[in-house]
Amino acid sequence: MEKFILVLNLGSTTTKVALFRDLNCHIVKTYSHDKGLISRGINEQKSVRYETIIQFLKDSKVAPEEISIVAARGGLLQPVEGGTYLVNEDMLDDLTSGKYGDHASNLSGILAAEFAGDYDIEAVITDPVVVDELCIQAQYTGIKGIRRTSIFHALNQKAVARKYAAGINKNYEDLNLIVIHMGGGITVGAHHLGRVIDVNNGLNGDGPMSPTRAGSLPVNGLLKYLDRHNLSHQEINKLISKQGGLLSHLNTEDVRDIVAAVEKGDTHSAEVLEAMAFQIGKEIGAKAAVLHGQVDQIIFTGGVSRSEYVMDLIKPYISFLAPITVYPGELEMEALAYGAYTIEQDRTLLKTYRAEVSHD
């Protein structure tokens, strides 16, 4: 009997786990975590999230020995080209130390390596959040010495873009697309002929606010806030990347609850959601400019795109730009399984991650 591919996808608010046989999904489950857990640092979330995975296997009645490889969503590493990478010591060091930042997807790689180590199999990641294809102009800021880097939902943005292209019998590499992933974080990518030449860094205070991210902030407002609340760098990072956006304004990151409150007449919640939609619309307009207005399709994806209420708030800002397609949820599990499957078929496709050499 063929063994399973165990797929681990730890997002900012959820843990998604699946078992695939070849490219067929045997079982998939999403566990939502409460804000007490998700607002903690990743090392403090590790044991609860690992236990969730073990419980999933027990509930699925699949023994760890029936798994041939672990396919995980990649985390914050140094910028890399797209592809599937072995979780090696260099990668594990960078994920564990948080050298490039603290993100839930770091945990996917860390827990995949832990599981793989326990059962003497391999763990791989595919299209991590640090895939960087930014054009040179997009890398500039107005301060010499500060450059923009690409941190976004690379895996899902590319997976839905390819699915859309396949659906119209075209190549991803022949299209100009704007892809908007709306999950715990929100990223808006300008895909120019198969490369994401501009995208907001969804994690570090750039782009629209999201369920848990602050998005772009006025610099002087942030500096005054820092002084007023006497926050450390670590605390301000946490505020921007874990406790911002809807969570900051409404004390919940759950868009379903917020929409339910709006429908019961909560005008403050309605105003905050409208502001988030406004910011998303504005970001899409910016990406249309990056693509010189030559936009074949605008594609929405992520958990929040399940909400017709939110989609109806965004559409008036952008429907004049290009036709809209929505892939609610995500294709990340399939994309991760596909990455691991291709490696099992052809080892030459496996890429090696090497830590940056320090020149100090």
Of 3 and 29, which has the nearer Cβ to ligand ATP?
Answer: 29
Q: Which of 91, 151, 240, 258 binds ligand BUA (CB under 6 A)?
A: 151
The answer to the question of residue 109 lying near ligand ATP (CB under 6 A) is: no
3-state secondary structure (DSSP) of residue 123: strand
How far is residue 116's CA from residue 112's CA, in Å, rounded to a whole number?
6
Q: Count the alpha carbons within 13 Å of 5 in the hemisphere toward its beta carbon.
A: 27
Pick the closest to residue 131 from 189, 214, 203, 196 (CA basis).
196
CB under 5 to 8 A by kind: which of ligand ATP, ligand BUA, none does 129 bind?
ligand BUA
In angstroms, rounded to a whole number, what is the distance separating the alpha carbons of residues 313 and 278? 8
Residue from 94, 253, 283, 334 touching ligand ATP (CB under 6 A): that is: 253
Question: Bridge partners of 147?
Answer: 140
Cα separation of 184 and 282, whole Å?
A: 19
Does position 302 interact with ligand BUA (CB under 6 A)? The reply is no
3-class DSSP assignment, residue 179: strand
Q: Nearest approach, Cβ of 287 to ligand BUA (angstroms)?
A: 16
Number of shown-chain residues binding ligand ATP (CB under 6 A): 18
Closest to 47 measured CA to CA, from 100, 99, 111, 140: 111
Stretch that binds ligand BUA, among 148-156, 157-165, 242-250, 332-340 (CB under 6 A): 148-156
Q: How far is the CB of 221 from ligand BUA (least distance, A)?
A: 21
7, 57, 123, 203: which one binds ligand BUA (CB under 6 A): 203
Question: Does the protein bind ligand ATP through residue 303 (CB under 6 A)?
Answer: yes
**In terms of CB distance, is 67 or 151 closer to ligand BUA?**
151
Is residue 209 within 8 Å of 279, Cβ to Cβ? yes
Q: Nearest approach, Cβ of 103 to ligand BUA (angstroms)?
A: 6
Residue 83 DSSP symbol: S
Tell the burial category of 120 from Cβ atoms under 10 Å away from its Cβ (0-12, 13-18, 19+). exposed
Instruction: Answer for the pair 203, 241: CB distance below 8 angstroms, yes or no.
Output: yes
The kind and range of the H/E element at 360 are: none
Please work out the total of residues on this chain that contact ligand BUA, with binding judged by CB under 6 A. 10
Interface stretch with ligand BUA, choices 37-45, 58-66, 151-159, 334-342 (CB under 6 A) = 151-159
28 binds ligand ATP, rule: CB under 6 A = no
Task: Output 238 or 306, the one with its CB closest to ligand ATP.
Answer: 306
Residue 40 in the binding site for ligand ATP (CB under 6 A)? no
Nearest distance, CB of residue 174 and ligand BUA, angstroms: 26
Choices 40-48, 145-153, 246-254, 262-270; region in contact with ligand BUA by CB under 6 A: 145-153
**How far apart, in Å, are the Cα atoms of 289 and each of 33, 283, 284?**
37, 10, 9
Note whether 13 binds ligand ATP by CB under 6 A. yes
Choosing from 75, 183, 205, 339, the residue that interacts with ligand ATP (CB under 6 A) is 183
Beta carbons within 8 Å of 6's beta carbon, 6+ residues apart: 17, 18, 19, 57, 67, 69, 70, 71, 112, 115
Minimum CB distance to ligand ATP, residue 49 (Å): 12
Q: Is residue 297 close enough to count as binding ligand ATP by CB under 6 A? A: no
Other Cβ atoms less than 10 A from the Cβ of 211: the count is: 25
Binding residues for ligand ATP, rule: CB under 6 A, are 11-14, 183-185, 211, 253-256, 302-304, 306-307, 330
Binding residues for ligand BUA, rule: CB under 6 A, are 12, 129, 151-153, 185, 187, 202-203, 213
